[in-house]
Amino acid sequence: MKNILIALSLLFCSSVVLADSETILPENLQSLDTANISLGSVNAKVVDVESGVTLFAKNPETVAPIASISKLMTAMVVLDAELPLDEMVTITEEDVDTWKNTYSRMRIGAVLPRSELLLLALMSSENRAALALGRSYPGGMSAFVNAMNDKARALNMRDSRFVEPSGLSMENVSTASDLVRMVSAASRYKLIRDYTTTPSHLIKLGETENEMEYRNTNLLVRQGEWGIRLSKTGFINEAGRCLVMLADVGERPVAIVLLDSYGRRTPIGDANRIKQWMVTGKSAPVAGAALKYEQEKNSGVFQTAAMDDDTQS
């Protein structure tokens, strides 16, 4: 019975809009008690952007795979290079995923402007789009990866490393603390803010093909009930479910990093628990399956396996 109640509270937390119309003052932040919030994500960090104060942290310096959160770095490198966004890029065999053999609706031979590849990589986590962005960079993929790591060093992301632009490789690693820095940096790019908060986009991949709808991978963006300024999700088996956001809570911009959680709903539930805690001082409990996953990962006994489906992005 207890597990049923906890599961229901997770569902409630992932779908109900929490009232946050009142402004949260700095003194309210100082009174927040971390004993009154529990998250299912194994690694997490929540920072009040204006003050720089860390409101909550759990294993913030643990180095872990970050999956498609990597695409925020990919986007910054592309935009820093000032490559023409209207230049047409052809999807080739080189853009096929050889790490996870993931499915893509983007066929070989499709030709899209660089801007649309950037949108699909950020909004719907399209892996072929991200790989094409890296491949079409001046100097090719190796130069692009070097630029990713140079950018990480410039942002003082000391525990981060990138080996490719999509996040499909488990060797793309970072920490919750480093990702707060990356989220803050990425939020300075208007195009990244706009693209990561686009709910959906229709695209035509060829002259004779029908339009296809690509949707944002973050349910909270699609629902439109949060004041989200920037968002990115990620998932591979080795990384678990991941979510980073810059969002307004009580009229305050907050950076939220959630890494390695069980099931598609856990990061969404954790984000809503953070919002509820900031507004009311308390949060809903975490579902039993998510808690068990966290305990097993922290103890080192968890065996990597698919956690909802085999879609990795």
Catalytic site positions: 68, 71, 125
Specify whether the CB–CB gap between 58 and 41 falls below 8 A.
Answer: yes
**Residue 279 main-chain phi, psi, to 5 deg:** -85, -40
Assigned token pair, 70: 């990597």
* DSSP code per residue over 211-239: PEEEE-S-HHHHHT-SEEEEEEEEEETTT
Taking Cα atoms as reference points, which of 78, 26, 72 lies closest to residue 50?
26
Residue 199 CA to residue 224 CA, distance in Å, equals: 8
Write the DSSP symbol of residue 161: B
Residue 192 CA to residue 22 CA, distance in Å, equals: 28
